[in-house]
Amino acid sequence: MLTYANYTGWKQEYYFFNKEAENIYNDLKSKLGGKEFFVSGINKNEDKLLVRTYTDKSLGAFYFYDTNTKQIKKLAEVSPWINEEQMADQKPITYKTRDGLIIHGYLTLPKGVDPKNLPVVVNPHGGPWARDGWGFNPEVQFLANRGYAVLQMNFRGSTGYGREFWEKSFKQWGKTMQDDISDGVQWLIAEGIADPKRVAIYGGSYGGYATLAGLTFSPELYACGVDYVGVSNLFTFQNSIPPYWEPFKEMLYEMVGHPQKDSLLLRDASPVFHVDKIIAPLLIAQGKNDPRVNKDESDQMVEALKKKGIDVPYMVKDNEGHGFRNEENRFDFYGAMEQFFFKHLGGRAAELKEEKN
């Protein structure tokens, strides 16, 4: 199976290195009703395939496909409890940055509402050298269900857009990378989709850094923010690099900045040194055993805010690392985030509370 998949705006384009692979792909596409899919397993002879479908409203299903007989058999739904009719559409969007760069992203609007003057949660991805793609995202669906439009964007440095786009992010934490996010907010406001007084920012890891950077470097844009295991200090972040990252340290210096050679740059881009600019409420969540973004990153931010007389809700889970995995902790976090956004943005949380009563 020799194929090459390339992400464009939202779905994948496939390029085939042989006619046999193209024929198999086309046969699968017709049998699966045009749904997006990928091959998740294959036998040694490459004639028995395990195929996985996916959409923006469910986690899809697994199928067994025999390339010799062209027979396909459904094995199991991945998430049969999800009602796709209740899920929101994840639509591809593009906008232009202040320096003329085209940014691709995704906009999810809550179902059954007029897409005008909505509360919005801006959700920059982690990495930062990763990307958001089209497909089912439980966080996004959770937020859309609560009445929020959700904006995801592949800011400069995101993968899948070529080397030049990636290199434009070098030493641009808190700068043009952050501008790409801010320009997405301005685009939503100009389109009339976002209520300019009800825009929040939420992200994890680099997305957590982008949240802190958003509240410090463009405080006028956001009504509140949620920082989930995010970086606050680029000096201590690089000093706490785990042992398995050591081979990549020089690459990190080139891509983010060197602690000595680029000290002014790193200080300027570290939110912890600019907490006096924060005017919006902030919720912080952190795993105590995080090896990638040390707990000290969140501790510093909370301490700096307290010194300014600002009380910030701070959730620390002792049995978690880089992101919460235990179910009870995830319930706690998303419950706290739901109430935090309702308090500062409004939304459907009040209606849900009334329904329960």
Query: Of residues 205, 240, 270, 298, which has the active-site annotation?
Result: 205
Contacts of 335 (CB under 8 A, 6+ apart): none
Query: Of residues 104, 125, 274, 322, which has the active-site annotation?
Result: 322
322: annotated active-site residue: yes
205: annotated active-site residue: yes
Query: Of residues 104, 290, 298, 344, which has the active-site annotation?
Result: 290
Contacts of 242 (CB under 8 A, 6+ apart): 291, 292
The three-state secondary structure class of 246 is helix
290: annotated active-site residue: yes
Rounded to whole angstroms, what are the CA distances from 244 to 77, 249, 250, 291? 37, 10, 13, 10
Give the Cα separation of 249 and 263 in Å (integer): 16
Place of tokens 């957590």: 208
Q: What are the beta bridge partners of residue 349?
A: none
Helix axis angle, 327-345 to 138-145, nearest 10°: 40
Rounded to whole angstroms, what are the CA distances from 304 to 4, 179, 278? 48, 25, 11
Structural tokens at position 351 = 């209606």
Give the Cα separation of 218 and 323 in Å (integer): 26
For the annotated catalytic residues, the residue numbers are 205, 290, 322
